[in-house]
Structure 1
Amino acid sequence: MKVESEYIAAGGNRHPSSADWATGLLAFGAGNNIALWNPDSVQNEGINALLSGHTDSVNAVKIWDISADRFLISGSSDKTIKIWASSENKSSPFREICCLEGHENSVNTIAILPEKGIFVSGSADGKIKIWKFSGSETKLAQTISLKPRILPLTTAITLLPSGQAILALAGTSSVIQIFTQSATNDQFELQATLTGHEGWIRSLDFVQETVGSQSDVLLASASQDKYIRLWRLRKGTQAPVDASEDPTLAATKSSLSNKAYQVGDDGAKYTITFEALLIGHEDWIYTARWMPRTDLTVSPSLLSASADNSLAIWAADQASGVWVCNARLGEISAQKGSTTATGSTGGFWIGLWQPDARSVVSLGRTGSWRKWTHDQTNDMWMQQIGISGHTQEVQSIAWAPDGSYLLTTSSDQTTRLLAEWKRDEINTWHEISRPQIHGYDLNCIDSLTRDRFISGADEKLLRVFNKPKAVDYLLSKLSGVESTNTADLPDAANIPVLGLSNKAITAVEDDENAKDEADANGYEKEAVDPASVLHKSTLELDQPPFEDHLARHTLWPEHEKLYGHGYEISAVAASHDGSVVATACKASSLDHAVIRLYETKEWREIRPSLASHTLTVTSLAFSHDDKYILSVGRDRQWAIFARSEGTLSDYQLVHSNPKGHSRMILDCSWAATKAGLIYATAGRDKSVKIWRLDQNGTECILTIPADQPITAISFEPGMKDDVIRLALGLEAGDVTVVSLNKDATQLAESHSLDRSLCPSKAITSLRWRPECASGHLQLAIAAEDFSVRLVNIKA
């Protein structure tokens, strides 16, 4: 059995230090993993691999090239620093070679100085550690306890033109501490404390201004006070007086300079003075990064990322020397629709330059990366295709009945639609739509038809959504999916202010404006906000939508709400013909552990509810002919409900096993076989049990043991070569595909997926793709490590 990775989706961590971009590789923290992505790839294939090893959120990532070797250094909330070396393994391009455990709390920042072979780590334990790194070994050189005790959030280290190393650090205070390395004992010593900011400092970065040993060095500091301060390090002990032709300007600069700080050894003293205050952002500033320059005769530029949803590029005006904003990228935060509900706000947490400075990327609150490339012909920054992914545990996934797209839902309160982008001979997967952006954690999802799905959340009710014309057009244009009869579909949807329900809206032609509503007497009822008017041309794309489009224009309008449950929804399943929905909620008593059925024509509840369980029902499944409903729960029992003859929705309890497993049962699945009705149950007792249902009742015909609890299972929808395939997802993230004989009485083969293809935390859901056109099998995997994976299996 040959298994290959087809697609990986994972959202980036919201930490300003958690990403770095070097030639051909952008590495970023994605939950407790490190995601590897090449933004320069012309094929736009997205994340290449996820490196697993950390047990908690990755907060800091740096790429270090030594000769022909490439290393990654990562710091995490698990208190460790890991060093990774490049390898030849395609599915895992880096291997862990070292784990450093010196810190006593979360590692929040890492800075590297390749010229001296050292890197610096800062932790929430209030300590800075200096490490010597040669590629083959790592040694702790120095530990600095910060006094007064602050939690370092950012560090920057560079060489002064004199050859001396200088370290800047800042964090949960408004000052910047400057350390220089002593020439006698190589220890870093505190030499200056820069004041001026009025909030926590989130980012520091050094740059050499020009060529030569007499060059000044600039330090940029970005703060939660909404300002960026630039500091100049100049050789000598006297602060230079700016003898500008304009005496007013000189006086202003002098008054802003505060005081001169002296750093360095006796042989090479440097003076630090305040250079400029960059004003323009309207919210906290998370990162400030100097543009990489191969030619030091070019003036330096600075990229800043802020919570005001914008990136700004700053440069000194050649004539006056005044620092100005040359370009601003991102969103207009005041625009209607840019609310927390639509996931647009929360700002940009990271801004990075491409190594050759032709492109920039930013990471937003929704975990999505956006990319802009500079068009030199028109001197404009043009947005390019980025990548996206969930930022919390992925709880459930569901394929469209025809396999044309995959729906995923997560504790990050979003539902996402993933589909192929087919062009020429290239097929890549992308997020095509974000149907649901919610105010509650989402727990379960299932497709009713190709144009409708249902999801359940912590809000105790279920919501049904219809596909809009905008998404139908995208799937048809990009994925080659046959278009639905769109006459009955709404154009698009939006979320009203202070609302949770997606409302259908009508798009207008480009030369039209939306008409204001009027009551029966002709008086104006409500003026239409021009910013909320949606033009049809906005919805007609020839490539996967950008992040701002996903959050605003690809929502699905809500069709129905289903009430009845008293606690958070735990499971939902739709019949294969889409006529019945079965749902369950979290429960600790018989009263709430019922399964509620709803018919989908009038959306009425079918009473009475189905009772058998005494605790939470964890999974539901309809048999392939919809005659039976299988349920499993935390009370260790499974139950089967059969449909009464001559009815479509009247189900009655026919079988149950109060001791189906020795511990709670977590998932179940029906098999499509020629040997009668076969189903499987799996649970925390580290076993899968295969059962046969016939006229005489039920019997366990096979038990498959595992070395850890089994959290998800899924039978392949059809039978190939008289073989029944079952995918098992385990608590540690391992995935195994087992093959059974046609009677499901014997285990014919077992294949464990390579560890590099598997998630690093518990599997939450497994789903085989129905009707895969490529000829081989495809398995979708959702996990608690925030990732969604699609693997190709060639038997």
Structure 2
Amino acid sequence: MGFDGGGMEVKRVFIGAGCNRIVNNTSWGACDLLSFGAQNAVAIFCPETAQILTTLPGHSAYVNCTQWLPSNKFAFKAKNLERHYLLSGDADGTIFLWEYSLTDKKWRDVLQVPEKHKKGVTCITAIMLSQTEAIFASSSSDGAVHVWEVILPSSSGGECKLSCLDSILVGKKPMVALSLVELPGDNGHLALAMGGLDNKIHIYSGERAGKFVHACELKGHTDWIRSLDFSLPLYGSSETPSLLLVSSSQDKGIRIWKMALHESIGNNRKEETSLASYIKGPIFSAGPSSYQVSLESLLVGHEDWVYSVAWQPPQSSSIDGIECYQPQSILSASMDKTMMIWQPEKTTGIWMNMVTVGELSHCALGFYGGHWSPSGNSILAHGYGGSFHLWKNVGTDFDDWKPQKVPSGHFASVSDISWAREGEYLLSVSHDQTSRVFSAWHDESSLEDGDAWHEIARPQVHGHDINCVAIIRGKGNHRFVSGADEKVARVFEAPLSFLKTLSHATRQKSSFANDLPVNVQILGANMSALGLSQKPIYVQASPESKERNNNEGIDTLETIPEAMPVELTKPPIEEQLAWHTLWPESHKLYGHGNELFSVCSDHEGKLVASSCKAQSASVAEIWLWEVGSWKAVGRLHSHSLTVTQLEFSHDNSFLLSVSRDRHFSIFAIKKTGGADEISHQLVIRQEAHKRIIWTCSWNPFGHEFATGSRDKTVKIWELEDGSSVKLLMTLPMFKSSVTALSWLGVDRQKNHGLLAVGMESGLIELWSLSNTKTDNSRISAPNAALFVRLDPFICHISAVHRLRWKNSTKSEESTSMQLASCGADHCVRIFQVDV
């Protein structure tokens, strides 16, 4: 999606995000795209390319559930549809309807459902009655279930008409699972099944245009009902159609209920004595017909709560696509970390578990939902770790389910990002307690232009929320320093398995291989039991040491499986990432009095500066660490509250810090006599804004710098003669707090640059800054102009936490630059900016 502004185009290159950890959050549409909630955004991903295509802005609370219209269940009806629709409900009770046009791949926010729920939406179910008519129902923790009819426009850009058919109040025990179906027969009646906290399934029947009445309730489950799904009407040999309803519960059981058309009252034909006649369930009437419900089967096999069950989508069986059949196949997903496919056995007709997928490793922590692809040859689960797991049936004569690539990302606010030295990869850290490496994977077989980005490693999996990170810039092996909600900064070094994987990803395009140490002896890392430090695994580990480790492990509270770091030749899946791509920790830096808040490295890779959360001047000091020896070589005093960001000037002679105390400080950093002697001195401390200063950035070509604040302003300053600071200009007031800045040098001769400005609203703007030199080479007032406002559909949905231009060495003559951003919406984004 491009957005044009003054001959400049900004494109989305990559979005990384994890799934909200909520049941009913994901939906697989008939258009073969998946939707899920990522914080307040509705994210859309394409399973074929394993890329997130876009995020839809609009919700102001967590997105709890999404539902496609038509969903995978109605794919057989949706062959010629040009527009598909998506419903999304959030934790405030708001529901949005979105339109997606297949022809131009554009999204449009169609409407917001007028009567919102008073509490969070827990489930949305929908059925297509015709190409332009649909009915959906939503449940909420406020104890109400709303049923709506939507008339979809027949031409593009038309209006959707929405009317409320009914509001059903269910009392103090809310419903959390819904399923709608058209009853077989001709009478235009519907059945709505709902289940929730009272352990019963309630069946309501209603007409297309009217109220829904309570028809019957089905008892049998002994715990909360978690998922319900109707099959399409099944036509047997006798041609009296029957429906099947599958239900799952926290009692670990799955039940299949049959709804058969009951003989009408006037017909006194003698009933056949069959087993069904002895275990008859309740009968309910809908219009002229009545239906008998009986328990068809009980499926036992899961060892924990079963969060979702779904019938395999109906498949077209004839050429013209009108005839379709409902496969006898059910997918269930459970907190026991497995998904199962159940089918009736050919001879006995007894339902059996035919396929089980799911890594029984510690990393999945259970599945919140399972989904079929419209064609029925792929299944997807989303799990506790915000992760997706996709399996595809690649067998021809027999079933053979193999794991596939999926998009991945953080499942909590992303606090900081840092580019590798040459920009080969991007490292991000988050309050989900992980750090992740994203890289463009050069794939010869890919049809797309350019390379697709994927997560290729998860260097740190920690027991605390991680707040800040900096990759060390100097030569040698890849290293980074991260700071979390603890008083210790930690240093990590890339192991051999990562270096080899990276060379596959970049196809040796980068120049970093020249200055790598030849003798990297560490293959990977293992996690400790509490998850607070990572121990190295050496290349030549002797078998005795492994045995000894295993024996020791038996006595600990938790035995952690041994990691197996390997060289990856294609982008890894979740199971490999979570366990086998850790980096070993080489140092701990002790000294701060509180949780770490910001960290930065100088541009030669000689020094690292760090700060922590602070309420007093003594705690707000900035520590300087020497890279290599990791000795503390300086403690800089200036601020009285938390230092929010630190940055070295590009010639490494000054360190700029900004703080909650509304001041910025500049320290002169000098290398003195000895090789490792550092002297530092406070040059200036100045109050700069009326509110917290969140961010700062130096001009790569000189000693100008920018500061951005909660007071919605960005100020451009110049450090003159290394001793005094002059305010050059203040940019026009922004609409929201400024939370992130990054300055890119474009043309050294004209001192021309681009300043990226990120706001609390999630929006990003690029400003062009240039200085015109006067005769006596003093700089006159700089020119600033808004270059481009990024399209909200490619920006963040919540606050931008950090912006970073890719530090490309070729940037001076290149016309295409990459900008990375991260934010509170759990997303890491990369944009391509073409000037």
* Shared fold, TM over 0.5: yes
1:303 counterpart (316, 327, 331)? 331
Q: How does 1:739-754 map to 2 (within 5 A)?
A: 739-742=768-771, 745-750=781-786, 751-754=788-791
Distance in 2 (alpha carbons) for counterparts of 1:89 and 1:759: 25
Aligned position for 2:776: none
Q: Which moved more, 1:483-492 or 1:693-702?
A: 483-492
Residues 508 and 534, structure 1, Cα contact 8 Å, conserved in 2? no
| Structure 1 stretches lacking a partner, 5+ long | 245-249, 339-343
Distance in 1 (alpha carbons) for counterparts of 2:425 and 2:504: 13
Aligned position for 1:228: 254
Cα drift, residue 748 of structure 1: 4.1
Matched AA of 2:183:
L
Distance in 2 (alpha carbons) for counterparts of 1:126 and 1:311: 30
1:293 counterpart (311, 314, 318)? 314
Aligned position for 1:667: 695
Residues 727 and 766, structure 1, Cα contact 8 Å, conserved in 2? yes
Q: How does 1:336-735 map to 2 (within 5 A)?
A: 338=362, 344-377=363-396, 379-424=399-444, 426-449=450-473, 451-481=478-508, 482=510, 483=513, 484-506=516-538, 516-517=546-547, 532=561, 539-607=566-634, 609-644=635-670, 646=672, 650-673=678-701, 676-695=702-721, 696-707=723-734, 708-716=736-744, 719=747, 722=750, 723-735=752-764
TM-score (norm 2): 0.86
Aligned position for 2:22: 15
Distance in 1 (alpha carbons) for counterparts of 2:615 and 2:545: 52
Distance in 2 (alpha carbons) for counterparts of 1:34 and 1:433: 25
Residues 740 and 759, structure 2, Cα contact 8 Å, conserved in 1? yes
Matched AA of 2:307:
Y
Matched AA of 2:528:
P
Q: Which moved more, 1:399-408 or 1:736-745?
A: 736-745
Q: 1:717 to 1:466 in 2, by over 3 A?
A: farther
Q: How does 1:117-156 map to 2 (within 5 A)?
A: 117-135=134-152, 136-147=160-171, 149-156=172-179
Aligned position for 2:86: 72
- 1:180-210 per-residue CA deviation (whole Å, 9 max, x = no partner) reads 1158x72111121212112212111000363
- 1:414-468 per-residue CA deviation (whole Å, 9 max, x = no partner) reads 1110001012264110000011111111111110146100111112211111111
Cα drift, residue 514 of structure 1: 7.0
Aligned position for 2:356: 328
Aligned position for 2:775: none
SS at match of 1:423: coil
2:53 counterpart (40, 44, 48)? 48
Distance in 1 (alpha carbons) for counterparts of 2:229 and 2:464: 38
- 1:337-362 per-residue CA deviation (whole Å, 9 max, x = no partner) reads x2xxxxx1321112111101111111
Residues 86 and 95, structure 1, Cα contact 8 Å, conserved in 2? no
Matched AA of 2:314:
R
Residues 82 and 103, structure 2, Cα contact 8 Å, conserved in 1? no
Residues 91 and 757, structure 1, Cα contact 8 Å, conserved in 2? no
Residues 157 and 206, structure 1, Cα contact 8 Å, conserved in 2? yes
Cα drift, residue 494 of structure 1: 1.7
Q: 1:605 to 1:92 in 2, by over 3 A?
A: farther
Q: 1:736 to 1:182 in 2, by over 3 A?
A: closer
TM-score (norm 1): 0.90
2:822 counterpart (749, 762, 782)? 782
Aligned position for 2:200: 175
Cα drift, residue 560 of structure 1: 1.0
Q: 1:636 to 1:731 in 2, by over 3 A?
A: same
- 1:608-666 per-residue CA deviation (whole Å, 9 max, x = no partner) reads x2111011110001111221111000100000111245265634343333421121111
Q: 1:193 to 1:667 in 2, by over 3 A?
A: same
SS at match of 1:587: coil
Matched AA of 1:6:
V
1:84 counterpart (98, 103, 112)? 98
Residues 637 and 656, structure 1, Cα contact 8 Å, conserved in 2? no
SS at match of 2:472: strand
Q: 1:260 to 1:88 in 2, by over 3 A?
A: closer
Distance in 1 (alpha carbons) for counterparts of 2:462 and 2:568: 25
Distance in 2 (alpha carbons) for counterparts of 1:90 and 1:633: 46
Cα drift, residue 526 of structure 1: 7.1
Cα drift, residue 553 of structure 1: 0.5
Distance in 1 (alpha carbons) for counterparts of 2:109 and 2:553: 60
SS at match of 1:202: strand
Aligned position for 2:116: 102
Query: Is 1:215–2:245 an aligned residue pair?
Result: no
Distance in 2 (alpha carbons) for counterparts of 1:2 and 1:91: 18
Matched AA of 1:15:
I
Distance in 2 (alpha carbons) for counterparts of 1:197 and 1:772: 64
Residues 175 and 195, structure 1, Cα contact 8 Å, conserved in 2? yes
Residues 303 and 336, structure 2, Cα contact 8 Å, conserved in 1? yes
Matched AA of 2:648:
F
Distance in 2 (alpha carbons) for counterparts of 1:329 and 1:784: 33
Cα drift, residue 513 of structure 1: 6.6
- 1:495-549 per-residue CA deviation (whole Å, 9 max, x = no partner) reads 132342111114689xx97765469xxx9877899994556xx713321001000
Matched AA of 2:121:
V
Residues 469 and 486, structure 1, Cα contact 8 Å, conserved in 2? no
Q: 1:91 to 1:165 in 2, by over 3 A?
A: closer
Distance in 2 (alpha carbons) for counterparts of 1:242 and 1:487: 81
Distance in 1 (alpha carbons) for counterparts of 2:798 and 2:121: 21
Distance in 2 (alpha carbons) for counterparts of 1:645 and 1:235: 88
Cα drift, residue 16 of structure 1: 2.3
Distance in 2 (alpha carbons) for counterparts of 1:592 and 1:540: 43
Matched AA of 1:53:
G
Give the paired residue count: 762
Residues 85 and 97, structure 1, Cα contact 8 Å, conserved in 2? no
- 1:750-771 per-residue CA deviation (whole Å, 9 max, x = no partner) reads 1211222211111100000111
Matched AA of 1:30:
A
Aligned position for 2:767: 738
SS at match of 1:283: coil
Residues 521 and 538, structure 2, Cα contact 8 Å, conserved in 1? no
| Structure 2 stretches lacking a partner, 5+ long | 1-7, 71-77, 153-159, 265-269, 318-323, 773-778
Q: Which moved more, 1:373-382 or 1:546-555?
A: 373-382
SS at match of 1:4: strand
Q: 1:624 to 1:505 in 2, by over 3 A?
A: same
Residues 182 and 189, structure 1, Cα contact 8 Å, conserved in 2? no
Cα drift, residue 45 of structure 1: 5.4
Aligned position for 1:63: 68
Cα drift, residue 299 of structure 1: 4.0
Q: 1:562 to 1:92 in 2, by over 3 A?
A: farther
Residues 84 and 101, structure 2, Cα contact 8 Å, conserved in 1? no
Residues 461 and 531, structure 2, Cα contact 8 Å, conserved in 1? no
Distance in 2 (alpha carbons) for counterparts of 1:434 and 1:218: 44
Q: 1:242 to 1:37 in 2, by over 3 A?
A: farther
Aligned position for 2:74: none
Distance in 2 (alpha carbons) for counterparts of 1:680 and 1:98: 40
